[in-house]
A and B are shown apart, each in its own frame.
Chain A
């Protein structure tokens, strides 16, 4: 059996909090673990961060590229567009 989990680890700070909340809203299967200074989010198969959801939470325009400022580590295949940052396991 292959492991098809993807994950993203973000710094646990003020800038990353809305991103984490957005992930929580848009990915029902995601499990979120809080560590000191880090938040690790695992999801089966795929995980998406939508620009629209984050903008709603922070009340300003947001570019998905801003993720990289607070990004620690990711696992999965990345698909980046202007509207979303997506992680998935390609078979």
Chain B
């Protein structure tokens, strides 16, 4: 027996907002992501050029060497607008809080060897300063980039980096019993210790890049693409071998977040490179220019975390990043 569901319906005149209808037509409903993204940034009637940059309009495509016919082609595959991004992160935050509570309750960091725990503090805590640089860089991309598609995703990324910096701080506080000693020592190490100076120099060089798309490539693709697998995968495995998975539970958010972050950067680079040969060559040139610099800056950190394997691991990670660029974004490096 089949049941037929009968209803009477009133056909709405418009299924979506004008900003989406102009692109996709008004005859079918669009996703919230498209409604909260397409053409939100003003493009006309700027009247005056900003005093702080008289070469450009307030919103200007000329702040990068990448050229796009339509900047809104650089969509975020995660389809994050403010609502979905907040909901996703809030779910992840609950899991992270649970992990922190579990590790604290079972005193899992206490079961680590003294040397191991010390190494974890010395390695992870200074990285919060690098995450803060990443926050500033992504905020820059948001401020000077063109098109809501990219700028909103960059802002979300920037805020995510603050969250990661906070998790790193909390790991430090858990190790030092909330005395904040590790945080002070981490700051000291970041500004003075030879181990961190190349990376700190790189972070400061990134902060003065003018071309926002180059900054996206250098920070979100190359630096993150080497740093995250190095710290939260390879070095994490060393800690796990030495003293169990307690620490990994505290950095779980980072590895989860990185997987998702890759999807966004892969998509942005893929679309931009497909647009024209000039774009493709420019992106390839940027990656080729930044990769050795980033690898050199990370070398001492890898050395500290991995010892003798550091060099082979670093070259492996670079090959993996090149393979990823070819496979996911169609770039020939």
Contacts and interface: CB of A to CB of B under 8 A. Distances in A.
A18 B2 contact: no
B208 interface: no
B7 A38 contact: yes
Given A9-B5, A36-B9, A60 B78 contact: yes
A36 B2 contact: no
B6 to A, nearest CB: 10
Given A36-B9, A40-B5, A59-B263, A17 B78 contact: no
Interface string B1-42: 011010101100000000000000000010110000000000
Nearest to A75: B2
A22 to B, nearest CB: 13
Contacts of B279: none
Interface residues of B, number: 15
A59 B77 contact: yes
Contacts, number: 29
B79 interface: yes
Contacts of A18: 31
B266 to A, nearest CB: 11
11 contacts: A3-B2, A9-B5, A12-B29, A17-B31, A34-B9, A36-B7, A36-B9, A38-B7, A40-B5, A59-B263, A60-B78
7 shortest interchain CB distances as A-B pairs = A59-B77, A59-B78, A35-B7, A35-B9, A36-B9, A59-B79, A75-B2
A70 B77 CA distance: 22
A14 interface: yes
Contacts of B9: 34-36
A58 B79 contact: yes
A14 B32 contact: yes
Contacts of B3: 73, 75
Interface in A13-36: 14, 17-18, 34-36
Interface in A50-91: 58-60, 73, 75
B25 to A, nearest CB: 14
B252 to A, nearest CB: 16
- Of A14, A40, A75, the most chain B CB neighbours within 10 A belong to A14
Contacts of A9: 5
A9 B3 CA distance: 12
Nearest to B7: A35
Nearest to A32: B28
Given A3-B2, A59-B263, 14 more contacts: A9-B5, A14-B31, A14-B32, A17-B29, A18-B31, A35-B7, A36-B9, A38-B7, A59-B76, A59-B78, A59-B79, A60-B260, A73-B3, A73-B5
